[in-house]
Structure 1
Amino acid sequence: MIGNGVVKFKKGAPFLRNVTAFELDPSYGIQVGILKSGRVSDLQIWDYVFTDDQMIQWTTCNNQEAEGNIFSWSSNFNVTSSNVGYRELGTGLFCLPETLGLTVLSKQSYTEGIISCKQLKANVHAYTTSLKNTDIRTGKGLLSGNYELWAGYSDKLDENNYISPDGLNINETQLTWRWGEPNGENLENCVAMQGPNTQNTQIIDKMCMEKLFVTCEVTESLVFYIHNIKSIFPQYNEMRFVLEESSPSPLMFHGFDGSRVGKIKNTWYLISAEGVKLLSRRDFGFPLGHKKWSKCDGSEVELLFNACNDHEFGCGDGSCVSMYKRCDQQIDCTGIYQKYKIKINGN
């Protein structure tokens, strides 16, 4: 900002990198010069200083009509210049997305499903009624043909006492056991539902290591971050993504700059805005956490990919733990991923 002008960038724009210089003369003539390459999401200049209420009004994602009385991106910006790359991304990529709601994920073991849901800051959904009476918002297209999905209950901790991750007892639901179940054969400690008969509320016990569809109960609006990305994109400290239904993979991470992370068969790819596959990783679940990715030349790079906020730190499995729990002598990052809690925080 120079003089009394106000420069406004859309909420959440992550790519402002010493991009533009402005000179305002007494007649409000403007010269705009590109100092360094970069990306700008929006630009408005007014000839007065905002009040607090005006600042809130013009910088919320609900307002898409902001237009500066001195300079307006939509009215004044020359997109035909040979040294300017311009692409309309839309405000949806810069604002927090809607929550995914009940989200069906690809087939995985019950334990893997718990981890995948934790990566989305969610619990495995515990069904209490039939699929027909359950409002699945995301990933329902996966459920085709004859399928089985985890009902969200297990008796691994207490034999014959089937409880969900958040403590709901299966006896408190409308679900009923199929005749002869639970039979407990071969250490069958987890509960499954069968499809596609959506009227069916009957359940069976299964071995927890079997691969079935899992449903997560996602209640937060999530923005995902790839950290330590400078070796691939030197201009970024981090990259930001939102998770949405897409094609060819049922769920895809869409980057704020037009890049994406998508799954083709069992391989995830980090794809640039220009459509170039830069990194790959084979993963049946999400590629979240502290993991190695392969470059095209066969070398590897370690990335931390998660949805952790500033008040959280990331576990190696992609889940997030509150900073308030740091150094409290309790194990918050479980299993083999615990070591990354120490590595990431430098303690």
Structure 2
Amino acid sequence: MSYAISDKRDNEFRIDHREGGYRVSLQGHWATSTLATPLRSWATFCFAYSLSTSDWAIYLDGRQRAKGSFSEFTEPLEPGGTFIIGQEQDSLGGLFQRDQSFSGEITDLNIWGSVLNQHTLAQVAPCGSGMVGSQLSWVASSWVLEGEAEWVSGSLHEICQPLTKAINIFPDRFSLSQAIDLCQVVGGTVLVPSSDQENSWLYEQTQNDSIKCSGGEGESYLWLGATDTIQEGQWTNIATGRPVSWLGPWRGDRPNGGTEENCLVMLTGQNSGRWSDIACLDSYSFCVSCQSSQPATIYLKGPAVCQYTPFDHKYLLGERRDGRPSLQGFFHSDIYWHSGTWRIQSLKVNASAWHRPVKEGLYPFGRHPWIIEGDLCGMTQGMVVNLTLSVCGQGQFTCADGKCVNLNQRCDLRIDCADQSDEVQCSLVDIPSGYSTVIPPPPTNTSSPLPIHFIISVIAFPTIATQYQTFTATLSLSLRWQDTRLNFLNLKDDRTLNLLSPDDVFNIWTPRVFFTNAEGNLFTNLKQGARVECVRGGPSIPGAPYLPEEVNVFPGNESSLEMSQLYSATYSCDFYLAMFPFDSQVCQLRFTLVSAAASYMVLVPEEAVYTGPTFLIEYQIGTIRMAVEEGNEFSTLEVYVKFSRRYTFYIVTLYIPTVLLILIAYATFFFNPDDFNSRVVVAVTSLLVLTSLLTQTSSSLPKTSYFKLIDVWLFVSIVVIFLVILLQTLVNFTVQSPSGSYLRHSWFTSLLEVNMALMVKSRVIIPVIYLIFNLIYWTVALR
């Protein structure tokens, strides 16, 4: 509604009933609210404004719902202008635009010259109060009709009675299961009249279709939504399971079909408007009427509902056109049956779309192909697109047949739609036009490179070959990043359900990492077994109506992508064996991000774990840690693994045997002094066995330029046994010499002197040598 006093002052006073809220403009100042104008029901709006204070208030049905004050004072409205209902004036009484027209019904419009007090407002608010305005009166004013506006007279009861039930009649034949599904699809249930008045009204509305609805095969023509299947004679609502509040009028005194006939129909002919029970067979088909507490909003979704589309997004079931219920858009388009097709027709421009059902009697609810006529939303004449018509609102998904399921059940690997459409086309990525898989994502922070979070889980070390200085690692590598160019669809809390399809993976950018010190030319890959998952971040936002299917959209700046794969790689490691077999080795796994230079993206160490057994055959696995290697052109990260050798085997198989061999060789000093051969054979045999151990051990270890601890041990052991053999030979030589006594005396004296010297200098001489000489001395002395 608008009031203009000249071509230049065409917006002196204006009232807008918009989808986003009720708004009033006074000389360029706006009073706004979020009050939505109710659909298919009456409401009383009041706007109060004080010229002296610039305060305003908005009332809905007598209750104050918004208030405020203009920042500047206004002037009184000048008389002599033009007041228009249903249009915004762009000049005095003219320059109307079709898309600015009001579609609806208005009554009892009054304007007072002063702000009404609370008591008067309470009297004005009720429907049909009869109070008239002092400045503009609905009753006394003279209105001129122009264009498509028309006067319609109605009773106060019709206008003021609040809507408690919406009834829609579908004059086509359906089986009972189809009738139940149809009513569910349009947001209602199969009607069961709740009073004699409603029953009579229903028959009056459907009697002209009774022959068509019965198929000419009997008196039954209209399904009613009640059954006594559970308990004979106890009729309950099919949808709710609650007892029917009103029963009758029956054909005869009561139902007469017994337990074989448990469904309910309305009759025509001699028993017009009466009820009868009937068998619940799908071979029967009749018309159906659906009821709901409020008119259900039916949403149109798909490529034809872009930002500037001439088609409405919301519709209500309305009057019949060409024999079937039509869908009336909220603003400027209708959907109706015409010449064998369902048509969407814009009332603003010459644009439409049509759909031909596969057989007679089917309605356009659900997802179907439509053919575009005219240029709209970037589509051309004759283009075929999928459009969806359903009552499914926010947080719901429309099955192909029009039924609604929870949107979280979409693509969850479980069938929830009867037609299985909830598990079809489960793409998780919305890739914008112009997206390039060659160009990496922009960084989330413009002042720093894009972080690629690095997660490694080492599963096993199948081989650790000391002699070759290599080891093989089985590891799971995960890379996580954000791509703000993408949006993700219908993500679940369970990230295993957010697996991208191979096609989606092929069409997005993924990082590439080189296994730097692994044998071969190994890079991260997307071969068999690879997974690319979406990791849900922040909350979702509803998908745009131009999408043919409902989706929850997760922005790419809040959610992440994670690529994971299992690898088996052989690495070289410089084993330092000086303390073998009591050594520990720290080896590294180096990874280099080669997708772009470090100034564009970097590897960020996130987590490194080892999930295999701690104790292997030869090694004990220690801690695993990560570190970033600085100063490289490409971001490089190192993973360090500690191997501690398990030395029990060497103690049992090497150290203890060598000690025993030394003792055996030393024990030859206690053999019979005259049995030189036995003493020498035992000592030499010990020396040969020890030499064999040395050879065997050396062959299993890498050749090093430095001595290993085990080499020193075996060498010293060989020297000790060699000295034993040498002493045995000297002793035997002394005994058999002609001047043996002298030699023996000289030998003992010399040996004693050496022993005393060693005792004096024992603090600076190797204790092992000192011990050996003492043992030799006392052995010879005793003998």
Whether the 8 Å contact between 2:334 and 2:344 is mirrored in structure 1 is yes
Q: Which is further off, 337-346 or 203-212?
A: 337-346
Q: Which runs of 5+ in 2 are unaligned?
A: 1-11, 29-46, 67-74, 107-161, 215-220, 374-380, 427-489, 491-548, 554-783
1:293, CA displacement in angstroms?
A: 1.3
Contact 1:182-1:205 at 8 Å conserved across structures: no
Change (3 A) 1:92 1:311: farther
Q: TM-score, normalised by structure 1?
A: 0.63
For each residue in 1:190-226, what CA deviation from the matched residue of structure 2 results, as whole angstroms up to 9, or x when unmatched?
5433214335333322532443101212212323221
1:151 equivalenced with 2:165 (yes/no): no
| CA offsets 1:15-58 (integer angstroms, 9 cap, x no match) | xxxxxxx9x9xxx6x6xxxxxxxxxxxxx9x8846446599769
CA gap of 1:300–1:139, structure 2 versus 1, over 3 A, is farther
In the other structure, the counterpart of 2:550 is: 344
Partner of 2:103: 90
Match of 2:17 among 10, 31, 34: 10
C-alpha spacing 1:165/1:140, structure 2 compared with 1 (3 Å): same
Q: Give the number of aligned pairs.
A: 304
- Say if 2:219 is the partner of 1:212: no
Letter in 2 for 1:304: T
1:203 to 2:277 alignment: yes
Match of 2:371 among 275, 281, 294: 294
Deviations 1:118-160 (A, max 9, x none): 1222111246788974553995365344731113246889999
Measure, in 2, the Cα distance between the counterparts of 1:89 and 1:53.
20
What is the match of residue 35 of structure 1?
A: none
Instruction: Sort the Cα spacing of 1:100 and 1:53 in 2 relative to 1 into closer, same or farther, 3 A.
Output: closer
For 1:1-347, list aligned pairs within 5 A.
Answer: 9-12=16-19, 48=54, 50-51=56-57, 74=84, 77=89, 78=91, 80-81=94-95, 84-85=97-98, 88-92=101-105, 101-106=166-171, 107-126=173-192, 133=199, 135-136=201-202, 140=206, 143-145=209-211, 147=214, 148-153=221-226, 164-168=238-242, 173-174=247-248, 175=250, 181=257, 191-196=264-269, 197-205=271-279, 207-230=281-304, 234-235=308-309, 239-264=313-338, 266-273=340-347, 276=350, 278-283=352-357, 284-296=361-373, 297-310=381-394, 312-321=396-405, 333-339=417-423, 344-345=550-551
How far does the alpha carbon of each residue in 1:2-24 deviate from its partner, in whole angstroms, 9 at most, with x for none? xxx9986314269xxxxxxx9x9
Give yes or no for contact 1:269–1:281 (8 Å, CA) kept in 2: yes
> Amino acid of the residue matched to residue 344 of structure 2?
L
What is the DSSP-based 3-state SS (H/G/I as helix, E as strand, rest coil) of the residue aligned with 1:318? coil
Following TM superposition, by how much is the alpha carbon of 1:312 offset from its aligned partner in structure 2, in angstroms? 4.2
State the alpha-carbon separation in 2 of the partners of residues 98 and 113 from structure 1.
Answer: 24
- Paired residues of 2:265 and 2:275 also in contact (CA < 8 A): no
Residue 90 (structure 1) shift: 3.3
Deviation at 1:305, TM superposition (A): 1.8
CA distance in 1: counterparts of 2:345 and 2:207, whole angstroms:
24
**TM-superposed deviation, 1:292:** 1.6
Larger C-alpha radius of gyration, 1 or 2? Answer: 2
Q: TM-score, structure 2 length as denominator? A: 0.32
Q: Distance in 1 between matches of 2:369 and 2:206?
A: 30
- Amino acid aligned to 1:345: V
- Residue 62 of structure 1 is matched in structure 2 by none
Are residues 158 and 289 of structure 1, via their aligned partners in 2, closer, same or farther at CA, if it must alter by over 3 Å?
farther
Which residue is equivalent to 2:35? none
Distance 1:329 1:7 in 2: 54
Contact 1:269 1:277 in 2 (8 A): no
3-state DSSP of counterpart to 2:364? coil
For the structure 1 residues 191 and 220, does the alpha-carbon distance in structure 2 shift closer, same or farther, using more than 3 Å as the test? Answer: same
TM-superposed deviation, 1:278: 1.6
* Aligned-CA RMSD value: 5.2
Residue number in structure 1 paired with 2:505: none
Deviations 1:245-299 (A, max 9, x none): 2333442111233311011254211011058562112343431222221234543
SS in 1 for 2:19: coil
Amino acid at match of 1:292: P
* Greater relative contact order (CA < 8 Å, ≥ 6 in sequence): 1
Q: Which residue identity lines up with residue 259 of structure 1 in the other structure?
A: S
Shift in alpha-carbon separation, 1:237–1:203, aligned structure 2, 3 A: closer
Following the alignment from structure 1 to structure 2, what is the Cα–Cα distance between the partners of residues 57 and 240?
28
How far, CA to CA, are the matches of 2:199 and 2:416 in structure 1? Answer: 35
Unaligned runs of 5+ in 1: 15-21, 31-43, 60-67
Give the helix-richer structure, 1 or 2: 2
Whichever residue aligns with residue 186 of structure 2, its letter is L
